[in-house]
Structures are given as structure tokens and as C-alpha cells.
Structure 1
Amino acid sequence: MSDNILQIPCTTISGEETSLAALQGKAYLVVNTASKCGMTPQYKGLEALHQEYAERGLRVAGFPCNQFGSQEPGDEAQISEFCEVNYGVSFPLFSKVKVNGADAHPLFVALKKAAPGLLGSESIKWNFTKFLLDDQGRVVKRYAPTLTPDELRKDVEGLL
């Protein structure tokens, strides 16, 4: 596995192999998402950040995850349609991943190691945990699920 988080292989929601580096951003906001969660409306705020800051280099990346209360039960096509129809999501979505446990996606293993959560725990506690990365793939900050995308604006602007 690459030491650079941006180089870790990922699969888009449409099945193409890529990496965050391919998005060519100045800042990256990586989020584990879910369609049937109380925080699902955060898709709207994530899309607003994408719309406002994409031209300046922010890349929002959504990674659906079904590990928390089975709140992402659909397949990739269903997830993609749900996000587009209900929230107008146009930022990149990736295939469903696990973020915790032995089968956790290498991207999330690296993110958690770089930015442990509360009390040094590396596990992700719920959907919509957010990681802000700089243009070199360094994790600048980890945000709790309850923090809304709008509350990240100052940190995002600081990287652009």
C-alpha cells in the first residue's frame, strides 16, 4: 500500500479503478456516507461545499458504508440514484466500503491511523465521519458525524 493516502486505489460507484489523486484537488473532504441515516441530509451540505469550492480545488468524496445500523443497504446503482434524485449529488461517489474491522478499506485504515478519533480511538463511530486532507494527502482534521458540512467552511477555505 502506498504511503500517500491520495494514491490508495479506490473504486468509483460506477466500478472504475481510481484514486483520490486522480481528482487533482487542493483539498479533499472524504466522508463515509449512508442513505438511511438521520444524518443523510448532510448530503445537501456536502453538495453545497462541492458547488461552492470545486473551482478552487476542493474535492468531496463520498464512500457509502453499511456498517452502522445497516443504513446503506442498497447496491451501487441504488445509492447513486438516491443521492442524485434526493440531494442532487454531483461530487464523486465511490463503491460501498467497510471503514472498520479486518475488512476495512485501506483508505479508511490510513485515514484513521493519521487522525485518530476521541481518546485516540482509530475506529469510526458512525456515518458521516469526515476527514479533511491537504493537497499532499495529509489529514488536516477529522470531524465527528454531528458536525455539519457548513461548519467546515473555515477549515476548507484555509486549504484553498
Structure 2
Amino acid sequence: MELANVLVALGGERGHTVPKRNVTPAEVAILMAIHGEDAVHEIEVQEDTSDRSGRAEVEHLYERYKATDPDTGKFIVGEVFPGRNPDLPKTFEALGLPDELYKATSRATPAKGKAKKSASQKKPAAPKEPETPANEGSGDGENGGADTSILD
């Protein structure tokens, strides 16, 4: 059976998320039955696999998840996987989960030359030269013709 590391939103609340390591596809199905269809997310399938038999996995699930269905009073494990020898999913693909529940493996980046810069990313405009009155800056003397009589 495949194994994965996942995040579980307790009671479906993303603000109350806990990590679980090395869970099987069958365990993910149980967690989803308990906490909600989209409660298990950031699923990261591992290279390691479990050699636990189907029967041993069912026993493991009954030991770990003693929750019962409030409507029927039956164990959740028995509700999700009924029968004496249920057929458990061995791969995460067999669960048919949407891609959004799997951990992203890369970050989207804009194509070069196609992204528009936001206002905060644009280069600031060059400062404008201050305007000078017509009588300033047009002479030939010291200080470029500026009026320095007030300094005397």
C-alpha cells in the first residue's frame, strides 16, 4: 500500500490542522469520513510503501479510529469499509481525490516578458528639475548668474 504525509483539518476547520505521517489510502478515507471530504489536504505521496496486509490494515484502523456514526451507532471504519474482508484502496489514485487536495510540487511563475509590473515594482520617475524664475540662472557671473546680493 502507498503511504503519504498529509495535513488534517480537525472537524474540517483549516485553522485547526495537524500533520499525519505515513498514512495509507484507507486511513485517508477514514479521516475524510470523520472530518469532512476536504479535511485531508496537502497529500504528499511517499516513495516508501507499507507491506501491511489488508486484514492487518483493517485491524489497525479499528484500533486507531474508534469513532462511531452518530446516525447508526456503527464504527466509522465499518461504515466506510463494510464486510468481513473489505477491499481497501492500495493507491491514492484509487481514492479518486481532486488534485487540489495534493501538495503542490512547484510554484507558478509568470512567463518572462509577459508579466506586468505592479505600481510598487515600477521604477520611480526621475526627479524633475526645479523651475527657475526668468531672472535667475541666466547671467554669466559667479554662481552661474544667481542673485547672491542677499548673502552680502
Confirm or deny a common fold (TM above 0.5).
no
Higher relative contact order at CA 8 Å, sep ≥6: structure 1 or structure 2? 1
Question: TM-score with structure 1 length normalisation?
Answer: 0.26
Question: TM-score with structure 2 length normalisation?
Answer: 0.27
